[in-house]
Amino acid sequence: MSKITFLGAGSTVFAKNVLGDCMLTPALQGFEIALFDIDAERLADSERMLNNLKATSGSTCSIRAYADRKEALRGAKFVVNAIQVGGYDPCTITDFEVPKKYGLRQTIADTVGIGGIFRNLRTIPVMLDFARDIQEVCPDAWFLNYTNPMAVLTNVMNTYGGVRTVGLCHSVQVCVNDLFKAIDMDTTGVKSKIAGINHMAWLLEASKDGVDLYPEIKRRAAAKQQEKHPDMVRFELMLKFGYYITESSEHNAEYHPYFIKRQYPELIEKFNIPLDEYPRRCVNQISRWKEMRESLVNDTKLTHERSHEYASYIFEAMETNRPFKIGGNVMNTGLITNLPREACVEVPCLVDANGVTPTYVGDLPPQCAALNRTNINTQLLTIEAAVTGKKEHIYHAAMLDPHTSAELSMDDIVSLCDDLIEAHGDWLPAYR
């Protein structure tokens, strides 16, 4: 029996989408779906929910929850990762509240920035534990990483974990539709090309019947900037740097040094930036889960329709050898020629029985590559800190971060890092 293992299966809603999709996929019938989570209650919730789906869908997949991670992984053909180390309380709270004492405000704090750095530092050791288990009990498995910080964790699993890993993010999937909806343009017949790094990939081309749509996109975007709307940061970046970026404005507000600035507080209002957005989402999600748990977990008539999540389509393509195109996060083996080879990049990939085959992109527009490199710098230094255990590289990563370095002095950055290391306590390994 072939096996799909889901790590972080207590993410019940996400597990419903990804694994519900698998249960509806003909090529995946008969697979074992193995669930693992360190939260036994949430694990049991997901197991019950999936068994309800199994009954209503008629799927021949088997559902099994495991208390032992290595046994959950043993013999797996595919592994899906959706963990969050430290959760909202205490770690996300720490990532936001300690920097506030230095006047450093954030929106999401899960990719780069000071919050992204520390989310990486507490997650990388866990990911490398996964990699050691995978090497032992399912060395040929494909590892699908959905966990942020996407670029760093995917890089670590490939480079230091020795695991065949592709990182998957929704931002590429929804980029064109979201942009065209915002400016009231029709996506029918539109051809597009997207490449860059995760959360900062670029809509390099948008055309229809051979006509470049960017002039009209920018005209409408400039007009829309005259009123408040949710995507003002991305529109501003496009109008200044020439290309639309894949991830949301609340994310990109903290990836650059231009938008969240104490000396220019009016920018927050001007660009409609939702400070502390992620903690609010966490609180709302926790509240909603309490309300929806009963209907989702215990509904014996629960149904599911196949979603847009990539995972089941990737598995299907590998099983059937019917090609499927994705936007994937992979190592930069010369794919984007003006970004570092040691970086993880987000590019179009072809999936079939051979696995995930990335496509060659070449040079990005120089200004786009330059912006990508400002974030790659912090990503690579964060990895250096994690694999060497040297505290100085945490400082380097933070001092090179665009938003942090725009707001704080070097001495304050070092002090902030020390405070965060102390506040995280046992959630971080020891740094020398």
Owner of token pair 């309490």: 290
Owner of token pair 């020629």: 337
Residue 396 annotated in active site: no
Instruction: With CA atoms as reference, report the closest residue to 42 among 83, 11, 73.
Output: 11
Residues 6+ apart with CB under 8 A from 11: 42, 46, 82, 84
Q: Are strands 211-212 and 78-81 parallel, antiparallel or unpaired?
A: unpaired
Amino acid at 132: R
Distance CA 244, CA 205 (A): 10
Distance CA 236, CA 391 (A): 36
Helix pair 113-137, 391-400: axis angle to 10 deg? 130
Distance CA 231, CA 250 (A): 8
Q: What is the DSSP letter of 427?
A: G
> Burial of 38 by CB count in 10 Å (0-12 exposed, 13-18 middle, 19+ buried)?
middle
Distance CA 403, CA 267 (A): 14
> Binding site for Mn(2+), residues?
169, 199
Distance CA 84, CA 107 (A): 18
Helix (H) or strand (E) holding 346: strand 344-352
Instruction: With CA atoms as reference, report the closest residue to 78 among 154, 144, 10.
Output: 144
What are 325's strand-pairing partners? 350
> Binding site for substrate, residues?
148
**DSSP-assigned states of every residue in 402-425:** HHHHHHS-HHHHHHHHHHHHHHHG
* Token output for 312: 């089941």
Amino acid at 431: Y
Residues 6+ apart with CB under 8 A from 36: 5, 6, 7, 8, 9, 43, 65, 66, 69, 72, 73
- Three-state DSSP class for 203? strand
Residues annotated as catalytic are 170
